[in-house]
Amino acid sequence: MATPSSQPSTFLASTASSGYLSQTDITQSQSNVASTSTASTSQAQASQTQQSRQALEEARKDRTLAEFMLMLDDYEPLIPNEVTDYYLQKVGFECEDVRLKRLLSLAAQKFVSDIAADAYQHARIRTHAAGGRIRVNQPLTGPGSAKDKTRTTLTMEDLSAALAEYGINSRKSEYYL
């Protein structure tokens, strides 16, 4: 005997002849089969819609990347092109596309900027943890003045902590200890 999920029309015919289902049940079952085929059609349409959305998203990303690469023509990074060329040549990277070199320079600039910002945050935390607040009875001039307390000094410990977050070991060699 066939199961309802594999062949619904065979199942309906065999149960109707044995007297288990009424004419109303058969009509409802046939409408369920029709709605199932409609649901599968709507799923196929949804799948096609999803694929077209993905294709549109990919096209948008390609346009955005192309626009960004065109913007790099006019951009002059903080790291000079000669410095970027030197280090790229030193590691064996050869490319004549100036935009790609500027993109690498921009990535290096962001990396250095992130490390400097993290080191600054470590320095601020260190100064506030060490009682970096201004005292009322301090003189306004001299080495212990209020102006000196508002300044943040980056130390090698701050830089080492920031570099450690990026997986860079910046210990001094044992020769200099």
For the chain, the structural domain boundaries read 75-135+147-177
Considering the entire predicted model, what is its pTM? 0.55
Question: Quick check: 59 and 53 in contact, CB under 8 A?
Answer: no
In the prediction, which pLDDT does 62 show?
Answer: 80
Tell the CATH topology of 75-135+147-177: Histone, subunit A (1.10.20)
Query: Residue 45: which residues within 8 A CB-CB, separation 6 or more?
Result: none
93-114 tens-digit pLDDT: 998 988 889 999 999 999 999 9
Query: Residue 16: which residues within 8 A CB-CB, separation 6 or more?
Result: 26
In the prediction, which pLDDT does 31 show?
Answer: 57
CA–CA separation, 108 vs 119, rounded Å?
A: 17
In the prediction, which pLDDT does 143 show?
Answer: 58
Mean pLDDT by 10 residues, the chain (177 residues): 46 46 54 56 73 84 83 87 94 90 92 95 87 53 58 88 92 70
In the prediction, which pLDDT does 123 show?
Answer: 92
